Amino acid sequence: AQSVTQPDIHITVSEGASLELRCNYSYGATPYLFWYVQSPGQGLQLLLKYFSGDTLVQGIKGFEAEFKRSQSSFNLRKPSVHWSDAAEYFCAVAAPGGYNKLIFGAGTRLAVHP
Amino acid sequence: DVKVTQSSRYLVKRTGEKVFLECVQDMDHENMFWYRQDPGLGLRLIYFSYDVKMKEKGDIPEGYSVSREKKERFSLILESASTNQTSMYLCASTRGQPQHFGDGTRLSIL
């Protein structure tokens, strides 16, 4: 069965520090891959997506993610975190075609210390 | 920009009530989805619809039904609300990928 694992439930970083959020998936082929962010009390906003091609994808707010097929991973990175990045981050996968259903990881809550 | 609007941000209902959550999108998307979000579990798919009057069960459909009479509107129905349905409910729509989400409805069942 398809699944998404985000190993870190909570992460705390200092403002200005670099960030990496981990995401591993289980799927028979290469799925579509997504990172969403959810600020408190809000819906989900798309940060970036990977469908095919270049394995390093750039997103909004200075985020990037790298698809590594051999590791079934799609880790999210940011070189310098801002206090406004404090939020919950969700990794998701979708099977190409079909009904465009998403399978989500459990989420990683990011706290940023000043 | 795509706009997905959920009718209520916060809702409080009583056990046994029939509850309606409404979602409207303005981009003529074929596909619409209802998820519930619980701490430590991420988002789980309840139902989705790929066309008017068409619906498919997601991963956790028990205790819920849906209605899609018009393309832009997708309703989630709790037939007889129970306390274990207290949660955040998120609606999304898409034509292909990615999905676009509403701001969510935080539902409390007392």
- Which of A34, A42, A105 is nearest residue B98 as measured by Cβ atoms? A34
Contacts 24+ apart (CB under 8 A), B20-23: B20/B75, B20/B76, B20/B77, B21/B75, B21/B76, B21/B77, B21/B78, B21/B89, B21/B91, B21/B105, B21/B107, B22/B73, B22/B75, B23/B73, B23/B74, B23/B75, B23/B76, B23/B91, B23/B93, B23/B102
C-beta atoms of A102 and B99 within 8 A: yes
Residues 59-78 of B with CB under 8 A from A: none
C-beta atoms of A42 and B48 within 8 A: no
Residue A106: how many CB atoms within 10 A of its CB?
19
Cβ-based contacts of A6 with chain B (< 8 Å): 42
What is the model's pLDDT at position B88? 96
Q: Block means of pLDDT (10 residues each) for chain A, length 114 residues? A: 91 97 90 94 92 94 96 97 96 81 94 94
What is the model's pLDDT at position A29? 80
Question: B104 CB near a chain A CB, below 8 Å?
Answer: yes
What is the model's pLDDT at position A98? 67
C-beta atoms of A99 and B103 within 8 A: no
Cβ-based contacts of A43 with chain B (< 8 Å): 4, 90, 101-104
What is the model's pLDDT at position A27? 85
How far, CA to CA in Å, does B1 sit from each of A42, A48, B97, B101?
17, 16, 15, 12
- Residue-level pLDDT, tens digit, chain B, 110 residues: 779 999 999 999 999 999 999 999 999 999 999 999 998 899 999 999 999 989 999 999 999 999 999 999 999 999 999 999 999 999 999 988 789 999 999 999 99
Q: How far is it, in rounded angstroms, from Cα B67 to Cα A33?
A: 29
Cβ-based contacts of A102 with chain B (< 8 Å): 33, 43, 45, 92, 99
- A–B: how many Cβ contacts below 8 A? 60
- Which of A34, A43, A49 is nearest residue B102 as measured by Cβ atoms? A43
C-beta atoms of A106 and B56 within 8 A: no
What is the model's pLDDT at position A28? 76
What is the model's pLDDT at position A42? 85
Q: What is the pLDDT of residues B36-62, one digit of tens each?
A: 999 889 999 999 999 998 999 999 999
